[in-house]
Amino acid sequence: MQEHLDIQTNQSQHGNALLGEARQGEVLELQGQSPEGASVENGKKFYIESYGCQMNFSDSEIVASILYDNGFRLTKDYMEADVVLLNTCSIREKAEDRIRKRLKELNVIKENKQDALIGILGCMAERLKDKLLQQEKLVDIVCGPDAYRDLPKLVGEAESGQKAVNVFLSKEETYAEINPVRLDNSGVTAFISIMRGCDNMCSFCVVPFTRGRERSRNAYSIVAEAQDLFDRGYKEVTLLGQNVDSYKWTNPETEEVCNFANLLEMTAQVHPDLRVRFSTSHPKDITDEVLYTMAKYENICNYIHLPVQSGNSRVLKLMNRTYDREWYIDRVEAIRRIIPDCAISTDVIAGFCSETEEEHQETLSMMEYVKYQMAYMFFYSERPGTLAARKYEDDIPLETKKRRLREIIDLQMQHSLAHNKADIGKTFKVLVEKESKRSKDDLCGRNDQNKMIIFPRENAQAAQYVMVKVSDCTSASLKGEIVEYL
């Protein structure tokens, strides 16, 4: 999962696709009261920032639940925290450098509160455990993505002066029975992790080494979580996995196998007013069965993130993507045939090892063929320990990578703007999410195709469906007015 998300063409994505840009950490805010069944407070406060992909944000909600159950309480001010946690991304070097810088900034807390602890969670913890503890001495706690249940114990160890570490990768851990503490403050949309780990050994990607092997959650626990969210007023869930299409859970009592199409249908049946999204799909695994399930249910959003990475078959083979150009085009044609109005977005890597100018042009031609609604676009940066780092020379000059990336971005900007211009005059069902960042007089929400639409507030409320007629656009969003309240 190679990322270079400094440049993206659609700000309406809330990090869609399990992609990660280690943007400035998002401070998570606890919504509402303490979780039901939370233990007696122990007087200690924790502060958490999340970086990177949606899975990290979802994991932070699991971490919060575990800490709440052990008497900790959340604070939004790291200076008053007893435990400061960063849930990290290790997808590229720039992401890790940014987190190191943030760790140094956070260490100021110890000037006023000497017994405060700083911990690092997630992928960077898994990859750089020894270096973070022994060489850089930036943290007191290192906890990998499969060891969050151990956090209270690790805090205790660190309080006694030990360096507390658990980066064990599990073959079974899914946190299925843990009810996440919803940490965003919208109360409208939520993530549901349906699986963990990844079995796709893409040559550029560190995820299989930092998150372990693939395993799927109990389907009934996922549906129960979706039902609970709807009962609490949420109107949209996003099913998360490194590759949701390979979701596969076997009921131990009946030995029936539940695949992703089955799970998608079960979730859609929770309630017609609960929108269902998912991320991320892998071109080698997305089936017609999934597409027909999407077409069957109005509340399954017509939007698929389908990473292409390259439009050239030789480069795709070097990337170990296990599909070629023709296979990818076949999947796009199936989407267009079964769900004609489905929006497609993607990931593109410029300048992978040995990529020629002609192969770069094939990526541009793939973009011209599909005309993606939105894309995450990156130039290749080598990650230690990956197959590409071991086998291939990173031989494309940086300036060439940047130039190719710029050509990809420019083309995508054209396509995104054309997509949005085509929507002017159309009316869409929109789920109201929140206040617009630019004006308190405006609200915003997304339509079925995941496009962000901004409109005057009028009498609309968050978590409400409204019909909005589009009157204007940019390459990143649509603008319009409410024409009907639903």
Nearest to 284 by CA among 331, 228, 336, 340: 331
Q: What is the DSSP string of 357-385?
A: HHHHHHHHHHHHHH--SEEEEEE----TT
For range 26-39, the mean pLDDT: 48
CATH number, domain 189-421: 3.80.30.20
Kindly state which CATH superfamily the domain 26-166 is placed in: Methylthiotransferase, N-terminal domain (3.40.50.12160)
The 3-state DSSP class for residue 215 equals strand
Give the pLDDT confidence of 257-302 residue by residue, as tens digits.
Answer: 999 999 999 999 999 999 999 999 999 999 999 999 999 999 999 9
* Residue spans per domain, the chain: 26-166, 189-421, 427-485
pTM, two decimal places: 0.87
Band of pLDDT at residue 385, cut at 50, 70 and 90? confident
CA 449 to centroid of chain Cα atoms: 17
Least confident of 68-72, 169-173, 197-201, 202-206: 169-173
Cα-based distances in Å from 275 to 190, 290, 351: 11, 16, 37
Assign residue 192 a region (left: φ > 0; alpha: ψ between -120 and 50; beta: otherwise): beta
Asked if the model's pLDDT at residue 389 lies above 90, the reply is: yes
Q: Could you tell me which residues come within 8 angstroms of residue 126 by beta carbon, excluding any fewer than 6 positions away?
A: 90, 144, 145, 167, 169, 209, 210, 211
Give the pLDDT confidence of 241-269 residue by residue, as tens digits.
Answer: 989 999 999 999 999 999 999 999 999 99
In this prediction, residue 38 carries a pLDDT of 55
Band of pLDDT at residue 7, cut at 50, 70 and 90? very low
Question: CATH top-level class for 427-485?
Answer: mainly beta
For range 454-468, the mean pLDDT: 96
Strand partners for 337: none
